[in-house]
Structure 1
Amino acid sequence: MVVGNIYFIAAIAVIGGGLFGFDISSMSAIIDEEAYLCYFNPGPHEYNSDGSVVCKGPNANVQGGITASMAAGSWLGSLISGFLSDKYGRKTSIQIGSVIWCIGSIIVCASQDIPMLIVGRIINGLCVGICSAQVPVYISEISPPTKRGRLVGLQQWACTWGILIMFYISYGCSFIKGTAAFRIPWGLQMIPAILLFLGLMLLPESPRWLARQDRWEECHAVLTLVHGKGDPNSPFVLREYEEIKSMCEFERDNADVSFLELFKPNMINRTHVGVFTQIWSQLTGMNVMMYYITYVFAMAGLKGNNNLISSSIEYVINVFMTIPALVWGDRWGRRPTFMIGSLFMAIFLYANAGLMATYGEPAPKGGLNGVSEESWIISGHASKAVIACTYLFVASYAISFGPASWVYPPELFPLRLRGKAGALCTSANWAFNFALSYFVPPAFVNIQWKVYVLFGVFCTVMFLHIFFMFPETTGKTLEEVEAIFTDPSGIPYIGVPAWKTKNEYSHATLIEEVGYDEEKKGAVAEVVHQETMATGEKMV
């Protein structure tokens, strides 16, 4: 039995995104708990007057390394995912990732010391890297143009749900005495990976990957199942099939599919855009807020359960503010979504920096509650304003970069390179995730509130970069996106200026309703011709 409902397909596939969410909050909710601090408490120990050990837990550098180890594994996993995806298929590569997650979770759950914990998190990261790179590719290749943003964006929504669910599981387990307080959450995170593995057995393979393997009957069957409601002669199915066939015939004579092709003149522009989409997603500072929110709220005067509950509100906002982007993101377009999100995030980051600089003061030596990362104190109405700006920052990210940064990169690349391109772009995400996860705890110690200024500057620069360099892809088929990067003169790496590209959601909606579009078919054929003339390859 194979299920063809596109929403069911996406709902199963994006569980891979939920795994990343589980990891984020399984760490952010636990790093301040007594059980965790006491168990992973490297020496030399300090003692209270009654002789009990002072549980300070890992220092800033060690905690940064523990948190960043998952991102390090994800970076490696995202790179190898391209080879797995191209050889074994999009669906199978995601299943491999889910098996790896279970292995890593067993090691994490059984951790006896910090090195074992780090090894388990690196293995977990391999899974997250594979899934975060290939789930968007899989969904992009199986979705109709008008729903592509919504369906790929579900990966981010699954991530937000994973964060929220695991946070409350970890919060509930915090009342358990002993190591079960963190071992139970770390063990339970295997459940969604098992569901992902089993659920994928019910889903079809990507029709574009099947076409690339010359499995044309299966490709047509999947298009019929997913888009034709069982009618193999559906106009939309025929249109998609012909466009895939045209592009594959051209690509068969241009079969260089190494990572190096992504850096050739005819591909470097879109590679730069895809990679920077993922880099900017990290440099917004959002994952810093996710991992270390308890530090931020502790500096704003929240303690104990109040801190954890207030932190969980951030995760609730993240879940519900992602919904508008899923519902209307394809109508808004990618460019406005990115630019408006980066503008508002910059505003709230600068506001937090100003509030802390004006109304705050350095914490006592050693940090609040003996936690060196909690290096600043702000109280009164100003602290409430810091919390409010943090919530608004999260809302700004959730409605913009959250889903759109996963939707956009797979849309940019031709079929023959999409698996490896997705791997490269996602590896950039995880490389910067690793750097920031490791950097932020010492940064809170050393530059304190200026951390907000740093990320505010990043958001300002990304706004300008997006305006000048990021083209609009909304409403176009994956084959039509090729025309954006090909100049009418036939020079393939100049392309259309980003600010002149248009959102074609309305046109794509009409074509899905009425079927074949000869004008668009001609545009795709012209791109193939232009690339042929520019590269000197024989026209198929």
Structure 2
Amino acid sequence: MKQFGNVYLIAGISIIGGGLFGFDISSMSAIIAGKSYLCYFNQGDVPCTGPEANVQGGITASMAGGSWLASLFSGILSDRFGRKKAIMTGAVIWVIGCIIVSAAQDIPMLIVGRVINGFCVGICSAQVPVYISEVAPPTKRGRLVGAQQWAITWGIMIMFYISYGCSFISGPAAFRIPWALQMIPAIILFVGMIFLPESPRWLASKDRWEECEQVLVLTHGHGDPNSPWVAREFQEIKEWLDVERQSKAISYFTLFTPRYINRTHIGLFTQIWSQLTGMNVMMYYITYVFTMAGLTGNNLLVSSSIQYVINVVMTIPALIWIDRIGRRPTLLVGSSLMATWLIINAALLGGLGKRVPNGVDGIKEAKIQVTGPASKAVIACSYLFVASYAPTWGPVSWIYPPELFPNQLRGKAVAFTTSGNWAFNFALGYFVPPAFETITWKTYIVFAVFCVAMTVHVYFMFPETAGKPLEEVTEMFEDPNGIKWIGTPAWRTKNYYSTAIRMEHGEGIEKKLSHDYSPERNETVQPEKMA
């Protein structure tokens, strides 16, 4: 069967797995404020008020709960059967979940379906970045892996407008139709993956060297078996795999050994911090926020949808420049800006907001309301928050973890770090509705503090990985003098994008791309100085 080697096509198909997560986000955010949903799943004595706040949090968080569990097992599935088959398995699971969700007769059935959907999202969110990072060349790796976040934003926006259109349908069809339509991209993902190659690094780990070389020729050599870049990549994979196999057996416990614990903590916190930015507030529960800003009815849904458009558009700069700019500056700027908008929103709601004991328009989670210029400012800061997250923590949280680990450990490592994303996604999905109901505007302060903390953490602990082949990132973490968990201080690491560009064009192919050390001076020597 013919396989396609264009790395942009490979990424374009595989990131549909990320788009499924986006579909789920907005299918909930657009539907939970709809009359059909509120009436059908009503729990209170008052008709059409929907589930209780903690139950709604549980419904929303159930998908993340399934994702957490599946992301942990996805590493084992991916390492045993391959990256492709793991992603295709996720697509099949998604279709099953969508059938159950769209046919849900009550809240328990809805939760079961969303947990099954979560199994798919857990597998795909963990293994799609691994697959793309192992196929992509260093100079394109950031934008291609980051495209998963772009797919998520497209999924959010498309599904929101589908749900908005269906909101004019009367009865349960208003939410059953959009939930059923979610299975279409999963079918496209399954069929598309059939025509894509397997990860060359996974093939190498199974000693399928001929297939590994063929994939490198197809994807990196543009069909030229004599490409010097392919020869270098193939040799480097071979050398590093030999080194890795001399170590002890690879398992999840390996992540916590002195050699890897630093990388594990960085990868895990990349995913945890991406959730603690507060983006969940803006995605899942934006209708609550804008209700507090005085918007109702169609104005509420249309204004909420603008942030999804912003999310799509503002992710594009990251796809274009993330490899040139690097990971560290992107994360630092993003967290600083988000902290600013969160603090302003807290000040506006806390200082100028009027308390509404029974909730604005009967929505229990919206117990503060602002009007006039303050209302416009809350909406503006919400948009600016999304515009700050979209090109920074959104894509980098998927790009960064797969770059930190060696080949044999990457599948399990990214599965574990992604499980941190889903554990906190679950916790926050459950936490936010009761938080809005009880501590109201102080919810923003909580997330602002997290954004300040992550800025400090990134500066001191997160090294730069842009432009480095995956096999050479290890050298930043392993001091040649034998102190395995220290390596190069994060703030001294550099972006080697320009050097990688020259090497991909055959210039200086014999030179070592990654940094080296001068033992006498105990400092980093940049590749440009290694002629």
> Normalised by the size of structure 2, how large is the TM-score?
0.96
Residues 446-487 of structure 1: per-residue CA shift (max 9 Å, x gap): 100011111000000000000000000000000110111011
Of residues 285, 291, 313 in structure 1, which corresponds to 2:306?
Answer: 313
**Residues 1:431 and 2:432 aligned together:** no
Residues 8-57 of structure 1: per-residue CA shift (max 9 Å, x gap): 000000000000000000000000000000000124x33xxxxxxx2110
SS at match of 1:176: coil
2:54 and 2:72 map into 1 onto residues whose CA distance is 26
RMSD of Structure 2 on Structure 1 (CA): 1.3
Q: Please name the residue that 2:272 is paired with.
A: 279
Residues 166-193 of structure 1: per-residue CA shift (max 9 Å, x gap): 0000000000011000000000000000
**Residues 1:157 and 2:158 aligned together:** no
| Superposed displacement of residue 525, structure 1 | 13
1:240 and 1:255 map into 2 onto residues whose CA distance is 25
Q: Please name the residue that 2:39 is paired with.
A: 38
1:362 and 1:12 map into 2 onto residues whose CA distance is 48
Contact 1:238 1:516 (C-alpha < 8 Å) held by counterparts: no
Paired residues for 1:131-142 under 5 Å: 131-142=124-135
Which 5+ residue runs of structure 1 have no aligned equivalent?
Answer: 47-53, 527-540
SS at match of 2:169: coil
Residues 198-256 of structure 1: per-residue CA shift (max 9 Å, x gap): 00000000000000000000000000000111111101101100110001111222251
**Residues 1:461 and 2:449 aligned together:** no
1:372 and 1:178 map into 2 onto residues whose CA distance is 23
Q: Please name the residue that 2:471 is paired with.
A: 479
| Superposed displacement of residue 370, structure 1 | 1.6
Counterpart amino acid of residue 444 in structure 2: Y
1:224 and 1:516 map into 2 onto residues whose CA distance is 20
Q: Please name the residue that 2:5 is paired with.
A: 4
| Superposed displacement of residue 491, structure 1 | 2.0
Residues 339-386 of structure 1: per-residue CA shift (max 9 Å, x gap): 0000000000001011111211211x2211222101101000011000
Contact 2:464 2:490 (C-alpha < 8 Å) held by counterparts: yes
Of residues 329, 338, 341 in structure 2, which corresponds to 1:336?
Answer: 329
1:214 and 1:523 map into 2 onto residues whose CA distance is 29
2:194 and 2:248 map into 1 onto residues whose CA distance is 30
Change (3 A) 1:139 1:524: farther
Residues 413-442 of structure 1: per-residue CA shift (max 9 Å, x gap): 001100000100000000000000000000
> Normalised by the size of structure 1, how large is the TM-score?
0.94
Q: Please name the residue that 2:215 is paired with.
A: 222
Q: Please name the residue that 2:524 is paired with.
A: none
**Residues 1:258 and 2:258 aligned together:** no
| Superposed displacement of residue 522, structure 1 | 9.1
1:181 and 1:339 map into 2 onto residues whose CA distance is 42
**Residues 1:505 and 2:501 aligned together:** no
Q: Please name the residue that 1:379 is paired with.
A: 371
1:468 and 1:325 map into 2 onto residues whose CA distance is 23
Contact 2:499 2:513 (C-alpha < 8 Å) held by counterparts: no
1:174 and 1:483 map into 2 onto residues whose CA distance is 54
Contact 1:480 1:524 (C-alpha < 8 Å) held by counterparts: no
**Residues 1:186 and 2:187 aligned together:** no
Paired residues for 1:75-94 under 5 Å: 75-94=68-87
1:166 and 1:389 map into 2 onto residues whose CA distance is 24
Change (3 A) 1:515 1:240: farther
Q: Please name the residue that 1:452 is paired with.
A: 444
Contact 2:271 2:417 (C-alpha < 8 Å) held by counterparts: yes
Contact 1:17 1:159 (C-alpha < 8 Å) held by counterparts: yes
2:149 and 2:514 map into 1 onto residues whose CA distance is 35
1:399 and 1:350 map into 2 onto residues whose CA distance is 20
| Superposed displacement of residue 490, structure 1 | 2.6
Q: Please name the residue that 1:51 is paired with.
A: none
1:430 and 1:121 map into 2 onto residues whose CA distance is 14
Change (3 A) 1:524 1:260: farther
Counterpart amino acid of residue 268 in structure 2: V
2:211 and 2:194 map into 1 onto residues whose CA distance is 16
Q: Please name the residue that 2:119 is paired with.
A: 126
Q: Please name the residue that 1:49 is paired with.
A: none
Residues 79-119 of structure 1: per-residue CA shift (max 9 Å, x gap): 01000000000010000000000000000000000000000
Counterpart amino acid of residue 437 in structure 1: G
| Superposed displacement of residue 288, structure 1 | 2.0
Counterpart amino acid of residue 5 in structure 2: G
1:502 and 1:101 map into 2 onto residues whose CA distance is 40
Identity of aligned residues (%): 67
**Residues 1:415 and 2:407 aligned together:** yes
| Superposed displacement of residue 72, structure 1 | 0.1
Change (3 A) 1:382 1:521: closer
1:469 and 1:191 map into 2 onto residues whose CA distance is 41
1:428 and 1:257 map into 2 onto residues whose CA distance is 20
1:134 and 1:515 map into 2 onto residues whose CA distance is 33
**Residues 1:367 and 2:359 aligned together:** yes
Q: Please name the residue that 1:27 is paired with.
A: 28
Contact 2:496 2:514 (C-alpha < 8 Å) held by counterparts: no
2:88 and 2:153 map into 1 onto residues whose CA distance is 21
Paired residues for 1:95-106 under 5 Å: 95-106=88-99
**Residues 1:168 and 2:161 aligned together:** yes
| Superposed displacement of residue 521, structure 1 | 7.0
Change (3 A) 1:464 1:431: same
